[in-house]
Amino acid sequence: MDRVDELARAFERFPGIGPRQAKRFVYHLLASNSGDRTRLADLISSIGASVKQCAECRRFWSGTNDLCNYCSDTGRSDAQLMLVERDQDLLAMERTGSYRGRYFVLGGVLTLSGKGAIRERELVERVERRSNTGLEEIILALSATSEGEHTSEHIRSLLQPLRGHMRLFELGRGLATGSELEYADKETLSAAFTNRKET
Amino acid sequence: MDRVDELARAFERFPGIGPRQAKRFVYHLLASNSGDRTRLADLISSIGASVKQCAECRRFWSGTNDLCNYCSDTGRSDAQLMLVERDQDLLAMERTGSYRGRYFVLGGVLTLSGKGAIRERELVERVERRSNTGLEEIILALSATSEGEHTSEHIRSLLQPLRGHMRLFELGRGLATGSELEYADKETLSAAFTNRKET
Amino acid sequence: MDRVDELARAFERFPGIGPRQAKRFVYHLLASNSGDRTRLADLISSIGASVKQCAECRRFWSGTNDLCNYCSDTGRSDAQLMLVERDQDLLAMERTGSYRGRYFVLGGVLTLSGKGAIRERELVERVERRSNTGLEEIILALSATSEGEHTSEHIRSLLQPLRGHMRLFELGRGLATGSELEYADKETLSAAFTNRKET
Amino acid sequence: MDRVDELARAFERFPGIGPRQAKRFVYHLLASNSGDRTRLADLISSIGASVKQCAECRRFWSGTNDLCNYCSDTGRSDAQLMLVERDQDLLAMERTGSYRGRYFVLGGVLTLSGKGAIRERELVERVERRSNTGLEEIILALSATSEGEHTSEHIRSLLQPLRGHMRLFELGRGLATGSELEYADKETLSAAFTNRKET
């Protein structure tokens, strides 16, 4: 196999990238100057060493401590633990400024066909360890998709024996910004009514 | 102006129909048999007579009474009044099976540029009349769009003097079915957290 | 069935209209004033009488003569006859200003599953009648879709016995305005090369 | 700036990649094993050395000779030279199997706002060198977009002094596969008629 194809094949494994765009990436790199290519290669090969995984929430971050800034922030509450699928979801939630508890990054979802994997062992270990030190509420902040629901279901069974007095929550359903009633599905509309808010 | 253009112009006033599709409608009718055209014309000219507007909720329906089936249903609660933009929104909410109160159809929204109209007078009259007979909760079930919010705002000021002990609600925001955290906007995500639900 | 549903059902037969939009049309009409509804009904019921089908090209038009303006225009050539699927296609070709021959409107396409109908008898009659009076070139101006090609194929067999010295043409394939080479399919790109034009 | 952001920034320069997807690429790499990352980095840093640019057509390819397989193929004609924007366009044209001449890859387009660059010097040099050895026809195979047309225009002036007996061509316009007459723009439809093909 030729080098162009080999590199294109590697880019095809990137999320959301098909064969055509993968090829376009290769030609983009070929047309770049060799300094830019070397720099990109260096960043890629060193990213593993320069970015650590936080020992508590398992997210990737660039600090030098064992715990990331959110996990070591004493201003945040240990009473709440939010489980998210991916690092990006954690960052999206942080951007809202509404949540001041702790996080755990699952690292993916479980598909209905039995594929996918999440950090089960680390999750259980984290919850066990924290259950005696103030953890009151676990928020399953997964996507409102069938895979997200399937994964939530699995996590609920997993945590059942550890629950004790902890409460489990899911994110609220309702109208997303920009949506019109007429096009909303039953479940969303029903939740929007149930979650109605005094004004 | 020729008859084809005149009819096309009339179809252009239909919601969501541009000049090209309007013309296609005309040619569709020309290619139909004359019996079908006559029947359609009859339905259109008689729809006003055969469909009445409910005296309470202002929705269009085909019954013979002054009040529609929802307004005359004694099994529904008079304590809740849901305000919706259009007839279709009322039907969408009914399909969820979650709401058992009364309705009022506003007949549209107010645009930010000051266009659009809603049934203000009838709304005020309805709320005044009902405020002494058990109405406790008004739900502003408008779209989660800037126009919907603008209209809600207007209605809140309108109803302010009549509020008394009545409570005003808006539909809950949150994740709509199928949405992923990473793509949710701040407001939606923040509401999804606030409206989290024990499981 | 109630009148709203009956009218919605009629609108669902309009090209490109689904159940939801059909219902929206009905509510649009209910919210219109009764004068507008009456006027629309009149236009629909009278369109058949006020619009004739041209005796030559079979297109619908609003004149009082047997022949439409294009068929009676002595400035246009009788040597060329363009076959189009629908009235709108004829108008689209006229907008280009490039064609000065005659037309025949087929009235549809034949689908691959054997559905659909075209004005076969009238087409054969037209071509037979014209073959002795200067018709030299027939242009099959059908869509570049599988249905369009299937219909062209059928018309070619139909006209085979009548061809004599007449030449049959199809519209040229090539790059459409706005298209990029990389995304063009093989057939389009190949035709674009074959149809290259000196500049 | 942190390493995650730095790498994300580098991916943002990839064609068609925005900040969000760039970040997703970084997390994808962080979640990959370190062997895969090393391998990708190696491919990227060595692609410049393992892929050469053909001395004639300027395309990137993986061979060891100065000339690529198309430029050294004695079965192809020297009489035709096709100018394309990018390597991918050349490959798309090859897939059609219709063209058996030579190529030149311009390396981009000129935008209307004066941005972009093409290999002008190399093009002129190539055409000058070839004008005495059988080059008869230059095909400007650029996109049917305003940028493609603007670039073609520029190349025509550039080559004007060198033309001699050479003929310049552009790709033919017409209906692309799948398109319907009614939706075709004027220029496309007009070209489709002009390029009509006997059948």
Could you tell me if D98 and C190 are in contact, meaning their C-beta atoms sit under 8 angstroms apart? yes
Domain identity same for D67 and D22? no
Q: Which two tokens stand for residue C38?
A: 């009456």
Write down which chains contact chain A via at least 3 CB pairs under 8 A. Answer: B, D
Task: Indicate yes or no: CB of D196 within 8 angstroms of CB of C96.
Answer: no
Is residue B40 assigned to a domain?
yes
Cβ neighbours of residue B156 under 8 Å, at least 6 residues apart?
A199, B140, B168
Q: Which two tokens stand for residue D40?
A: 């990708």
CA distance B51 to C28: 13
User: Concatenated DSSP letters for chain B?
Assistant: --HHHHHHHHHHTSTT--HHHHHHHHHHHHHS-HHHHHHHHHHHHHHHHHSEE-TTT--EE--SSSS-HHHH-TTS-SSEEEEESSHHHHHHHHHHT---SEEEE--S---TTS-----HHHHHHHHHHHTTTT--EEEEE--SSHHHHHHHHHHHHHHGGG-TT-EEEEPPB-BPTT--GGGS-HHHHHHHHHT-EE-
Q: Flag if B50 and C3 touch (Cβ within 8 Å).
A: yes
Q: Do D102 and D39 share a structural domain?
A: no
- And the tokens for D166? 């050479």
Chain segment A151-171, per-residue pLDDT in tens: 999 999 999 998 888 999 999
Are A87 and A14 found together in one domain?
Answer: no
| Same-domain pairing of C8 and C43 | yes
Specify if D55 maps to a domain. Answer: no
Q: What are phi and psi of B76, to 5 degrees?
A: -95, 155
**Partners of residue A29 in chain D, C-beta under 8 Å:** 44, 47
Query: In CATH, what number is assigned to the domain containing residue D41?
Result: 1.10.8.420
- What would the pLDDT profile of A108-125 be if each residue is shown by its tens digit? 999 999 888 999 999 999
Q: Is the dihedral of CA B120, B126, B131, B132 positive or negative?
A: positive
- Domain CATH code at residue C103: 3.40.1360.10
Most A CBs within 10 Å, among B85, B105, B181, to test the A interface? B181
DSSP A139: E
Inter-chain Cβ pairs, chain C and chain D, closer than 8 A: 197
Name the minimum distance, in Å, from the CA of C146 to any CA of chain D: 8
What subunits touch chain B, counting only 3 or more CB pairs under 8 A? A, C
* Cα–Cα distance, D150 to C26 (Å, whole number): 49
CB-based contact B14 C28, cutoff 8 Å = yes
Distances (CA, A) of C197 to A5, B9, C177, D146, D185: 35, 41, 15, 18, 19
Please state the domain count of chain B: 2
* Beta-bridge partners for B170: A197, B140
> Which subunits sit against D, judged by 3+ Cβ pairs under 8 A?
A, C
How far apart are the C-alpha atoms of C129 and D76, rounded to whole Å?
50
Interface touch A60/D28, C-beta < 8 Å: no
pLDDT number for residue D1: 61
Residues B18 and B12 sit within 8 Å (Cβ to Cβ): yes
Q: Are residues A104 and A183 in the same domain?
A: yes
Return the H-helix or E-strand segment holding D154: helix D146-159
| Cα distances (angstroms) measured from residue D79 to each of C175, C197, D88, D91 | 24, 16, 23, 20
Task: Print the domain residue range for B39.
Answer: 3-50
List the single residue in B144, B177, B197 with the smallest CB-CB distance to A177. Answer: B144
Per-residue model confidence as pLDDT tens digits over B18-65: 998 999 999 999 989 999 999 999 999 999 888 989 999 999 988 888
Q: Which residue of D has its CA nearest to C179?
A: D144
CB B117 within 8 A of CB B174: no
Residues of D in contact with C182 (CB under 8 A): 86, 88-89, 92
Distance between CA atoms of residues B197 and A169, nearest Å: 5
Question: CB contacts < 8 Å between A and D, how many?
Answer: 115
Tens-digit pLDDT profile for residues C4-46: 899 999 999 999 999 989 999 999 999 899 999 999 999 999 9
Alpha carbons A160 and C98: distance in angstroms, whole number:
75
- Co-location of A104 and A15 in the same domain: no
Residue-averaged pLDDT of chain A = 93
- Do C93 and C148 belong to one domain? yes
Are residue D64 and residue D44 in the same domain, yes or no? no
How far is the alpha carbon of A93 from chain D, nearest alpha carbon, in Å? 15
- Per-residue pLDDT, C1: 61
B175 contacts A174? CB cut-off 8 A: yes
Question: Residue B123 in contact with residue B154, Cβ under 8 Å?
Answer: no
Look-up of token digits 């399953």: A140
Cβ-nearest to B37 among C3, C38, C44: C44
* ipTM score over 0.95, yes or no: no
- Kindly determine whether residue D144 and residue C176, on different chains, have CB atoms separated by under 8 Å: yes
Chain B closest-CA separation from residue C166 CA (Å): 31
Percent of chain A with pLDDT over 70: 99
Contact D30 A14 (CB under 8 A): no
Same domain membership, residue C29 and residue C68: no
Q: Is B161:B169 a contact under the CB 8 Å cutoff?
A: no
Phi-psi region of B134 (alpha: psi -120 to 50; beta: other; left: phi over 0): left
CA pair distance A54, A117, nearest whole angstrom: 19
Are A16 and A89 found together in one domain? no
The answer to whether the CB atoms of C156 and D86 lie below 8 A apart is no
What is the Cα–Cα distance from D49 to D51, expressed in whole angstroms? 6
Distance CA A86, CA A63 (A): 19
pTM here?
0.79
Alpha-carbon dihedral of residues D49, D54, D55, D58, nearest 10 degrees? -110
Chain D CA closest to residue C101? D193
Residue D9 belongs to a domain: yes
Q: CA D182, D184, D187 angle in degrees (round to 5)?
A: 135
Going by pLDDT thresholds of 50, 70 and 90, the confidence category of residue D133 is confident
Task: Answer whether A92 sits within 8 Å of B182, measured CB to CB.
Answer: yes
Q: Do A88 and D3 touch (CB under 8 A)?
A: no
Smallest Cα distance from C3 to chain D, Å: 34
Q: Are residues B16 and B102 in the same domain?
A: no
CA distance C188 to chain D (A): 5
Distance CA A34, CA A126 (A): 45
Distance from CA of A191 to the nearest CA of B (A): 7
Residue A198 pairs in a beta bridge with B169
Higher-pLDDT residue of A48, B147: B147
Does D88 contact A40 at a Cβ distance shorter than 8 Å?
no
Q: Does residue A179 share a domain with residue A112?
A: yes
